Amino acid sequence: MIKRSEIKPLTAIDSTKHHATPLFDALKLYEAQNVTSFDVPGHKRGLDEQSELYYYGRSTLRHDVNSMPQLDNYDNPKGVIKEAQNLLADLYLADEAHFLVNGTTEGIQTMILAVCRPGDKLILPRNVHKSVLNAMALADVTPVYVSPEFDVKFGIAHNLSYDNVKAAIDKHPDARAIFIMNPTYFGAVSDLQAITELAHAHGMPVLVDEAHGAHFRFSPHLPISSMEAGADMAATSLHKTGGSFTQSSALLVQGDLVDKRKVKSVINMLTSTSASYLLMSSLDIARKNLALNGPEKFEQLMISLQKFKQAVNDIPGFHMLDGKAFKDLYHQQLDESKLTIYIDSTIELSGFEVYKLLRSDYSIQMELAEPNLIMGIVSIADNEAVLERLLEALQSISRLHHQAEREVHSPVLKQLSIPEQAMGLREVLYADKYPVNIEDAVGEICAESLMIYPPGIPIVMAGERISQDIVDYWQFINNQPIIKIGTENSNQVYIIEKRGK
């Protein structure tokens, strides 16, 4: 159960210090100096005005620069990059913040490589992002998967319950750390504060994938952010909901359970020595905007979202994932800024068809589609006008495609038990593999992760033993309009080649 209030206290933001954009200001100053370039990049800050690169604008090219004393150095920042990172740390209540130019994927890999040693166990949800699996393979970490709560109606996986995390810790007290999402792709949030307290009582740091939670800091009506909950590290995608450029993210660190020097060492190992100043300066700009305008903008957005969701629920055939019912059923919070829209069977279109129709006929791009739902993401840049446009499109689709006499039913989806882990992820990475027909794979070790969307939980992970249940279920879903990820041929699967074969 969530012990704290559903409405979190919003720690005051000292906006006076956040008017500054030290890195962005340094780039503008450098641009004004009109320096002749005999360094990289090769486009020479847009020297060739006939180049099609000029489509992106003169300032963009002039700010695409390399490290130099006036602009600091990413590997060992002591000047304007460091100042900008310190401001970001202040905003998110972290001890340290590191700019990331390879997305939250880089942050996830950094967290796991900085904390775990070869052979360590990591407690984590079954429905994690593939970057977590890749990081565990690189670090030679043993996964301890915990099944998330499963939503039968919507056909999607949510987050971890406190009780399931506690059971995993009790069974694996030697685990090195706990990895958790805040929130999931669809906005489900565990009781992160209670889980963090539990983990710390066992000496385990908490690592958070906060790719979809960069906005939590700015509204008391949103779930608690990772640093407010006491987590030790969080990879936070400011580009998703905070307004920075795509691929720009941040790694937040606090407390004494993590070696901060090692964190920086791993970041330098994973990051290009030519870190993009365009990406880093966009983080500087987004941080300023969030600090000065975030609370007010998200307050207005939450009011607009409440009206939007009520209106969608009045449209025949469409239903929003409801926060109150969600909490009552799963004892988890819901990020109310996520637009998860269920399409019941009285609409003669699948989620995929509604997704395509919105794009082709209404010029609206949603984030994703599933057989029975569509999902959209809103950010600091959104307003009531864009929500109204989506609402009108859904109303139009309902008028054209709703059939009241159609029977209302939910898709048949189920949650399988977690298979036996027969081989480590790193061992799988280097093992020889070959394809077999799925019906011949029973008892073999899977060489790839097979999953469906929905529910977004892997049926079998790389290194796990393929059971008859897995084969039966995979053959069943082959006949369903569901996205299948992992195998190139849905009737075959790659398995580990046995020695001496």
| pLDDT per position as a tens digit, 6-45 | 567 677 788 889 999 999 999 999 999 988 888 888 898 8
pLDDT above 70 (res 215): yes
Task: Let me know if residue 385 belongs to a domain.
Answer: yes
- Residue 445, domain extent: 425-496
Residue 452 CB neighbour total at 10 angstroms: 23
Under the banding of pLDDT at 50, 70 and 90, the label for residue 5 is very low
- Helices and strands in the chain, H and E counts: 16, 20
Q: What confidence score (pLDDT) does residue 128 get?
A: 87
Are 376 and 434 part of one and the same domain?
no
Mean pLDDT of 376-380: 94
Q: What confidence score (pLDDT) does residue 411 get?
A: 55
pLDDT above 90 (res 277): yes
Residue 334 CB neighbour total at 10 angstroms: 25
pLDDT above 60 (res 1): no
Is the bond preceding 9 in cis, omega lying within 30 degrees of 0? no
pLDDT above 70 (res 486): no
Q: What confidence score (pLDDT) does residue 501 get?
A: 47
Instruction: Please report, in angstroms and rounded to a whole number, the separation of the first and last CA atoms in the chain.
Output: 52
SS3 of residue 214 by DSSP: coil
Task: Let me know if residue 346 belongs to a domain.
Answer: yes
Q: What confidence score (pLDDT) does residue 163 get?
A: 95
pTM assigned to the model: 0.91
Distances (CA, A) of 88 to 15, 102, 125, 289, 294: 12, 18, 28, 11, 14
**How confident is the model over 314-323, as pLDDT tens digits?**
999 999 988 8
Mean pLDDT of 268-278: 95
Are 488 and 395 part of one and the same domain?
no
Task: Let me know if residue 144 belongs to a domain.
Answer: no
Please give the Cα distance from 133 to 4 (Å, whole number).
Answer: 32
**How confident is the model over 227-242, as pLDDT tens digits?**
999 999 999 999 999 9
Are 439 and 383 part of one and the same domain?
no
CATH of the domain at 394: 3.90.1150.150
Q: What's phi and psi for 186, nearest 5 deg?
A: -95, 10
**How confident is the model over 35-91, as pLDDT tens digits?**
888 888 889 888 888 888 888 898 998 899 999 999 999 999 999 999 999 999 999
Domain end call among 350, 366, 401: 401
Q: What confidence score (pLDDT) does residue 127 get?
A: 85
CATH of the domain at 432: 3.90.100.10
**How confident is the model over 425-460, as pLDDT tens digits?**
999 999 999 999 989 999 999 998 887 655 556 788
Per the structure, the count of domains in the chain is 2
CB distance 195 to 178 below 8 Å: yes
Task: Let me know if residue 68 belongs to a domain.
Answer: no
The torsion region of residue 93 among left (phi > 0), alpha (psi -120 to 50) and beta comes to left
Are 368 and 430 part of one and the same domain?
no
Are 383 and 474 part of one and the same domain?
no
Are 383 and 439 part of one and the same domain?
no
Q: What confidence score (pLDDT) does residue 205 get?
A: 98
Helix, strand, coil distribution of the chain in percent, nearest 5: 40, 20, 45
Please give the Cα distance from 459 to 179 (Å, whole number).
Answer: 20
Longest C-alpha distance within the chain, in Å? 72
**Residue type at position 186:** F
Are 381 and 436 part of one and the same domain?
no
Q: What confidence score (pLDDT) does residue 463 get?
A: 92
Domain end call among 385, 401, 417: 401
Name 135's Cβ contacts closer than 8 Å, sequence gap at least 6: 108, 109, 111, 112, 113, 141
**How confident is the model over 112-155, as pLDDT tens digits?**
999 999 999 999 998 888 889 889 999 999 999 998 887 877 77
**How confident is the model over 324-367, as pLDDT tens digits?**
888 888 889 999 999 999 999 899 998 889 999 999 999 999 99
Task: Let me know if residue 304 belongs to a domain.
Answer: yes
Are 304 and 388 part of one and the same domain?
yes
Please give the Cα distance from 499 to 467 (Å, whole number).
Answer: 21
Are 395 and 307 part of one and the same domain?
yes
Partners of residue 427 on adjacent β-strands: none
Instruction: Name the average pLDDT for the chain.
Output: 90
Are 386 and 434 part of one and the same domain?
no
Residue carrying structure tokens 């669809």 = 186
